[in-house]
Amino acid sequence: MTMSREVRRVPANWEHPKNERGHIALFGGSFKESAANWDEEAAQWEKGFVRDYAVKGKGWKPKDTSSASQALV
């Protein structure tokens, strides 16, 4: 199976940047940091919470906020 350039969205000869330790992240951050955030969000989800992006830093709110938001309308 061959892949066309339209599907790849990168030049055919493009290679992911590497250093002596392996591939370099293109979007900043580290895998270790991303995995820790994922684990924290999974633990909060199990407790019944989701991230509250309205709060600066790391805020959490209950998963089911539909009744509370309906009351404010």
Domain ranges of the chain: 25-73
Provide the whole-model pTM: 0.50
Query: pLDDT tens-digit profile of 2-30?
Result: 655 556 677 888 888 898 988 887 887 78
- Residue 63 one-letter amino acid: K
How far, CA to CA in Å, does 5 sit from each of 9, 13, 16? 6, 11, 16
Task: Report residue 73 as tokens.
Answer: 């309308």
Q: Report the C-alpha gap between 25 and 58 in whole angstroms.
A: 24
Pairwise CA distance, residues 55 & 16, whole Å: 36
The confidence band for 42, taking pLDDT boundaries of 50, 70 and 90, is: very high
